[in-house]
Chains A and B, each alone.
Chain A
Amino acid sequence: MNKNDFRIQVPLWNIALWFILIIWTYGVVYLVDLINGDFEGVFKVENGELTADFNVLPLSSVVIGLVLLIVFLIAYFFKLKRHNDEHPIKMNFITFLKPGEFLEDDELLKQVTENATKRIYIFYSHALPLLIFFMVIFPLDRYLYVVMLFLLLIGHNAMYYLEIRKFLSGNYKLHTSKRVKNNRFSKMFVTVMLVALIVAIVFPINRVNQIDQNQQELLSEYESCLNEGKTATIDFTGETTVRCD
């Protein structure tokens, strides 16, 4: 096994794939939202002609993403074919049971792969609860959360690649001082959780305060409109406003 072994480079290919999918899903999310939401609103009649009013950026991202995806798959296929022609350990084009980057040629490589996957297990067991927390607290666009999930996958592949590169470069230690590393990691995790907790407390309080302030303003506007002898109506479409007719 050497550095040119395609299995070593598979995580980098995975990272490239996730980046392409980040581009592609931007458009896909927009289109899905459009179909499930205001699809009829896309078509407008102007000067007696029916025109479609699409957002150009998401549509371009679907096309660019698709082209990149096709180029990627062709390049990946040729790279894989060359690997299978040159190396005794063959790789499958698609496998759902054993990722292509797993190195299990002998017991040392099995141990290295186990160590790398253990790190990724720890990474996910910290990152996913944080992501759930952000999804619960912040009502952001769902595409942002799709990107965050892709970033987790990119981080996971980068960690795996760096671990294997370290092994191949000869600087790898199977028995490291885990206690020191764990302490540093635990401190970092506790700090992140504390910051998240503060955000979780401050953000809703701030929102409730904002809603209360808006209601007070609307109420005084409503009352002053009635005092002028006009008809006041509250418009809930978009930003809540008081209409005084």
Chain B
Amino acid sequence: MLRNRVRELRARHGYSQTALANRVDVTRQTIGFIEKGEFSPSITLSLKLAKELQISVDELFWLEEDLDE
């Protein structure tokens, strides 16, 4: 499963979900789904998010073994 630190870093930068969504040109729902780990963003969106949150992509997203599978 794809894990991420989007929620934590967004809070650190003081962005709301809508503000971050506007900065990377997606809807608020997309940020919500990424934060919950329910949606895996494309490479392009991952790079945009990493740039906005001033972090590298591999520090923002990482794979974690899913025990259910």
A interface residue numbers (CB < 8 A to B): 1, 105-109, 111, 167-168, 173-175
Which of A1, A106, A168 touches B25 (beta carbons < 8 Å)? A106
Contacts of B38 in A (CB 8 A): 173-175
Count of chain B residues with a beta carbon within 8 Å of a chain A beta carbon: 11
Which of A106, A168, A174 touches B26 (beta carbons < 8 Å)? A106
Q: Please name the residue on chain A nearest to B34 by beta carbon.
A: A108
A-facing residues in B31-59 (Cβ within 8 Å): 33, 38-39, 41-42, 45
Contacts of A107 in B (CB 8 A): 26, 30, 41-42, 45
Q: Please name the residue on chain A nearest to B38 by beta carbon.
A: A174
How many Å lie between the Cα of A175 and that of B40 in the bound state? 11
How many Å lie between the Cα of A167 and that of B38 in the bound state? 12
How many Å lie between the Cα of A167 and that of B29 in the bound state? 9
How many Å lie between the Cα of A173 and that of B27 in the bound state? 17
- Closest chain B CB from A24 CB (angstroms): 38
How many Å lie between the Cα of A108 and that of B36 in the bound state? 13
7 contacting pairs across A/B (C-beta < 8 A): A105-B26, A106-B27, A107-B30, A108-B33, A109-B30, A111-B39, A167-B29
Contacts of A109 in B (CB 8 A): 27, 29-30
Contacts of B45 in A (CB 8 A): 107
